[in-house]
């Protein structure tokens, strides 16, 4: 697939004035919202008092936001800063790569990189097999784990077709004192003998902050979006979510499994993520 450069956000520090004006004109955002991560995310959360019905496949009452990830493989350089930021934010052991970057080879023989986190499936096999209800869907569409309920049976790990869950075989790094009790939205510290995974940094999203991986990506390859406001941001630019996905032929990993992932991939350069 040929790369469409007409509407691809520039890497960090290289957002041209012309491109900025184009984005502002299309979305009606201010310059600050186009270049500031916090301000950009505030655009996504403006519909907070106007929840919409739950998307098909979601469980429970719909929340004010319905979060999604977009990963633009054309811009990922494999630096793994997203992985490091996630591990630092959640005080994870090195084997707990809640967002893992894979090195793949295109049909043309060119190497490219694919970040992979929890797919936040709307029809989540991990939730349906959990015998104690430790895995569940939040109102904003994110799959979470209650570590205090998890019995470590690992049935969820066997059910996940994406390899997105990790078992805590050892004690996690010690988190600073005074962080408050562990909760599903911010499961810190992890608990030995239980399962952990990406939570989309929902503890940040609910307070108008970017996920750690999105904020750390210097290439602007990672976006967080909200279906309710139909906007997405990588902290550098704001895009209209539905139009951005359509314009760049976004796809989802193992979409044929009908798990309805909330993580979208933008491909290019003859890339394929079928592995």
Partners of 105 in beta bridges? 111
What domains lie within the chain, and their CATH numbers? 17-121+200-266 (3.30.70.20)
pLDDT score for 145: 98
pLDDT score for 193: 98
pLDDT score for 13: 35
For residue 113, give the 3-state DSSP assignment: strand
**Percent of the chain surpassing pLDDT 70:** 77
- All residue ranges of the chain with pLDDT < 70 are 1-62, 275
Q: How many CA atoms lie within 13 A of 27 on its CB side?
A: 28
CB 85 within 8 A of CB 212: yes
pLDDT score for 43: 58
pLDDT score for 8: 37
Residue 167 — left, alpha, or beta (φ > 0 → left; ψ -120 to 50 → alpha)? beta
> 159, exposed or middle or buried, with CB in 10 Å at 0-12, 13-18, 19+?
middle
pLDDT score for 274: 77
pLDDT score for 25: 42
CB 200 within 8 A of CB 155: no
Q: Compute the radius of gyration of the chain from its Cα atoms.
A: 18
pLDDT score for 188: 96
Query: Which runs of E-coded beta strand occur in the chain?
Result: 67-72, 100-105, 111-116, 135-137, 143-145, 166-167, 195-196, 222-226, 231-233, 238-240, 263-266
Q: pLDDT (tens digit, 9 = 90+) per residue, 13-44? A: 333 334 433 433 444 443 333 344 455 566 56
Partners of 102 in beta bridges? 114
Whole-angstrom CA distances from 82 to 78, 146, 238, 263, 267 are 9, 24, 20, 15, 19
> 123, exposed or middle or buried, with CB in 10 Å at 0-12, 13-18, 19+?
middle
């Amino acid at each position: 697939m040929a790369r469409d450069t007409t509407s691809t956000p520039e890497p960090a520090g290289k957002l041209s004035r012309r491109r900025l004006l184009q984005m502002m004109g299309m979305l009606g955002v201010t310059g600050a919202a186009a270049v500031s991560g916090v301000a950009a995310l505030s655009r996504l959360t403006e519909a907070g008092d106007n929840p919409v019905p739950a998307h098909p496949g979601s469980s429970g009452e719909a929340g004010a936001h319905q979060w999604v990830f977009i990963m633009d493989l054309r811009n990922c350089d494999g630096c793994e800063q997203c992985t490091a930021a996630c591990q630092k934010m959640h005080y994870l052991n090195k084997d707990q790569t809640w967002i893992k970057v894979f090195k793949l080879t295109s049909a043309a023989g060119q190497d490219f990189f694919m970040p992979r986190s929890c797919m936040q499936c709307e029809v989540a096999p991990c939730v349906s097999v959990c015998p104690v209800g430790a895995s569940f869907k939040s109102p904003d569409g994110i799959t979470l784990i209650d570590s205090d309920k998890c019995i470590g049976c690992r049935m969820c790990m066997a059910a996940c077709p994406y390899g997105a869950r990790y078992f805590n075989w050892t004690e996690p790094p010690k988190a600073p004192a005074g962080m408050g009790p562990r909760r599903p939205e911010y499961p810190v510290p992890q608990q030995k003998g239980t399962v952990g995974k990406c939570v989309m940094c929902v503890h940040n999203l609910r307070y108008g902050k970017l996920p750690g991986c999105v904020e750390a990506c210097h290439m602007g390859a990672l976006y967080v979006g909200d279906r309710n406001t139909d906007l997405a941001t990588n902290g550098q630019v704001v895009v209209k979510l539905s139009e951005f996905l359509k314009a760049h032929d976004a796809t989802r990993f193992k979409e044929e499994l009908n798990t309805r992932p909330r993580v979208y991939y933008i491909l290019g350069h003859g890339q394929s993520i079928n592995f």
